Chains A and B, each alone.
Chain A
Amino acid sequence: MSLGAAELLERIRALDLPEKVRIMNVCGGHERSITQAGLRNALPPAIELIPGPGCPVCVCPEEDVYQAIQLAMNEDLTLATFGDMLRVPVNVRKTEVRSLEQAKAAGADVVPVASPQEVVALARANPDRRVVFFAAGFETTTAPVAAMMAQGVPDNLLLLLSGRLTWPAVSMLLNSGEVGFDALIAPGHVGTVMGPEEWEFVVEEHNVPAAIAGFDSDSLLAAIYSVLRQLQSGKPALDNCYTRVVQPGGNPTARRFLSQVMEVTDATWRGIGTIPASGFSLRDVYAAHDARKLLPDYGDAARRRVGEMPAGCDCAQVVLGRIYPDQCRIFGAACTPRTPVGPCMVSDEGACRIWWSSGKRTRVEQAAE
């Protein structure tokens, strides 16, 4: 019998909490729900809810966005990508094309899409033209891309894949020596695809309480209540607070498509660096659709700040949950959704964008370390 938000808040308020409890979420959807529901100021002040690496757009490698822009500008092709990717800036001089949106404005054939089916339809409708699908995303977005490939795509459809796995980033944080959180809210949609078991390492190897949550206040508060009780008892055990959707083993069809079409590789995360076994790449049997193999590589290691966040931007710290969005040096001043400097201000999944949109407008002085 699940409890409602009001009852859960009562129970959380009745707990004997330590001075500070830091609970990290690793999903832009969670951060959005938390912020939009106003959970932070409904909860006791001791509870800190920290947005972590939950925005696929934010961690998409800078060099991949650069490559997509260069392909769109220099090659005779259509570049299709999820709408969120259009405004992500790369680190080039202001006189150069800095985003896919600017490339589109400059005449490149860039098409925002909302689903892999749209890309297939686009390629079918234009059989004589190469359509490159620049697909960035976590497991939830990458699984449908894998399904698309497995089910067969037109010859003229190429994939520039930037898929990432969520849990290796959390593993990296837990192994980093400066963990920065006391408990984890694990992502509900990723759990739906990959199964809850992926998150067992958090409690088993690191003794950190964890609970999988859905996206409404009831489910998020149930997960918060669960990790608080795990902390109190000193016996963490991964709790699934999204049982309606997250089943043991995840979605076997989605996982089969993923393993059939892609292999897991070491991958770079923007501003963070390489995380072992954290990315997807196309298997060799799909080489005929792999834009990385078939199209010119515009990568230039000598380019300024390649792979990094833009100068002055603290997105890397925000993504890792080391600072809150409004502690960034340029939050709300140089960096706003209208003039985004870093990717966290671009995407609807980005913590900076979510905070700014919900009314946090000015930066706060960072507390002395």
Chain B
Amino acid sequence: MTLQDSHISLAHGNGGRFMRELIDEVFARHLASDTLDTTADAVRLSLPGEEILFTTDGFTVQPLEFPGGSIGSLAVHGTTNDLAVAGADPLYLSLNAFIEEGFDVAQLERIVADLGRAASEIGVSVAAGDTKVLPRGQGGGIYLATTGIGVLRHPTPLGMKQIRDGDAILVSGPIGDHGISVMLAREQFGLRGDIISDAASVLDITRAMREVPGIRFMRDPTRGGLVSVAHEIARATGLTVALDEPTIPVRPAVRTVCDMLGYDPYYLACEGRVVAVVDPGSAQDALSAMRRQSGGELAEVIGCVRQQSGEACVSLKTEVGGLRFLQELEDDPLPRIC
């Protein structure tokens, strides 16, 4: 049974019958699991293992649906990927939905169905949730927030503290697809294209990487892209991150859009990639492990971490053998005027 109303009204947030119908007929229907009980105030969870990992994330993407995903799938992948790169298996999510008055119920159905599908694909349950309806004009259609619980599966801690001079850096696939896909979907610059977002779960890749003995650190390069992860590493370790431009995978279509608009692909967001730092002796094993996974076929070793005199920085050896420094992202890049 689906919701009778075609658009969300303030009554869907009033705590009464309309709200119950919204929760039962949209959210509970798509997100049903053994743990989800919409009548309970709180849920009991039993967690295997010793240590849990806990994280939260908010989602405000525009447009709400884009080639390769939607705010619904993003709300699952964004939070569970944070758990995955920290060495955990994600188990449970909570979901908050802030819906704007007048929102199309058919679109809400698609988004929640997307969310449910993304969660079940990686074996995660939405165990708790809440909906609120905001007056028209006070929200971008819908905002989502998810909090995730996972169980640590990697025996030793992964983290930037483990990174050593000489370690290798890998990326699990082409960068910038998500940033450009969303930008094209906005049709802001009159450009159209068929670049599909990389938004996906990275769980299979991180599970494979956990088996690589020399793994030190993983992160998913979301906002701020590859350069922001590289700067976090440089700042935390005092080591220079030296990247090798010809090895960094960037799809030609992404490169073309970047050239046209003056963007730099190294700063663009990904939503389904992993940057990993490994012991140099394990680099080839790690690369093979990534490439065996779906979504990791185009993985590459893209540089290394090394002690260098002077301030730690992020350097890029360019295609022609020149050297360039990649600075921390400052403000959103503006389109060029000539």
Contacts and interface: CB of A to CB of B under 8 A. Distances in A.
A75 B308 CA distance: 56
A217 B246 CA distance: 13
A101 B278 CA distance: 45
Contacts of B318: 36-38, 42, 217
A358 B337 contact: no
A42 B325 contact: no
Contact of A29 (B189, B323, B333, B338): B338
Given A337-B330, A348-B333, A359-B313, A38 B338 contact: no
B337 A9 contact: no
A23 B74 CA distance: 49
B327 A358 contact: yes
Contact of B320 (A37, A112, A337): A37
Given A115-B190, A117-B190, A358-B327, A29 B321 contact: no
Interface residues of A, number: 44
Contacts of A95: none
A40 B318 CA distance: 11
B335 A83 contact: yes
Contacts of A136: 337
A5 B333 contact: no
Nearest to B337: A82
A56 B322 contact: no
Given A32-B262, A115-B190, A358-B325, A189 B338 contact: yes
Interface in A281-338: 337-338
Interface string B28-65: 00000000000000000000000000000000000000
A41 interface: yes
Nearest to A135: B337
A12 to B, nearest CB: 11
Interface string B182-195: 00000011100000
B262 A137 contact: no
A112 B338 contact: no
B259 interface: yes
A207 interface: no
Interface in A53-68: 56-57
B338 A37 contact: no
B320 A217 contact: yes
A85 B337 CA distance: 9
A303 to B, nearest CB: 26
Given A37-B319, A359-B313, A114 B335 contact: yes
B161 interface: no
A35 interface: yes
Nearest to B261: A114
Interface string B299-338: 0000000000000010111111111111100110111111
A340 B259 CA distance: 25
Q: Label chain A's interface by main secondary structure.
A: helix
A348 B323 contact: no
A120 to B, nearest CB: 12
A141 interface: yes
B228 to A, nearest CB: 15
A280 B189 CA distance: 25
A271 interface: no
Interface string A147-178: 00000000000000000000000000000000
A137 B189 CA distance: 18
Interface in A22-48: 27-29, 32, 35-42
Interface in B260-295: 262, 264
Contacts of B317: 38
Nearest to B314: A359
Contacts of B319: 5, 37, 217
Q: Which of A38, A42, A338, A347 has the most CB of B within 10 A?
A: A38
Q: Which of A9, A27, A338, A348 has the most CB of B within 10 A?
A: A348
Interface in A116-154: 117, 136-138, 140-141
A221 interface: yes
Nearest to A215: B259
A357 interface: yes
A121 B320 CA distance: 43
Nearest to B318: A38
A364 interface: no
A6 interface: yes
A103 B299 CA distance: 47
Contacts of A356: 327
A138 B338 CA distance: 7
A349 interface: yes
B184 to A, nearest CB: 14
Q: Which of B262, B330, B337 has the most CB of A within 10 A?
A: B337
Nearest to B264: A36
Given A38-B322, A42-B320, A217-B319, A57 B327 contact: no
Contact of A56 (B315, B335, B337): B337
A37 B334 contact: no
Interface in A63-94: 82-86
Contacts of B326: 359
Contacts of A57: 337
Q: Which of B188, B315, B319, B325 has the most CB of A within 10 A?
A: B319
Given A114-B189, A115-B189, A215-B259, A84 B337 contact: yes
Given A36-B264, A217-B320, 17 more contacts: A6-B320, A35-B324, A36-B324, A39-B322, A42-B318, A42-B320, A42-B322, A56-B337, A82-B337, A83-B337, A84-B336, A86-B334, A137-B337, A137-B338, A338-B330, A359-B324, A359-B327
10 contacts: A5-B319, A29-B338, A35-B324, A37-B319, A82-B335, A86-B334, A112-B334, A114-B335, A217-B320, A349-B337
Interface of A: 5-6, 9, 27-29, 32, 35-42, 56-57, 82-86, 112, 114-115, 117, 136-138, 140-141, 189, 215, 217, 221, 337-338, 347-349, 356-359
Kindly list the 4 A-B residue pairs having the minimum CB-CB distance in the complex, ordered from nearest: A38-B322, A359-B325, A83-B334, A42-B322
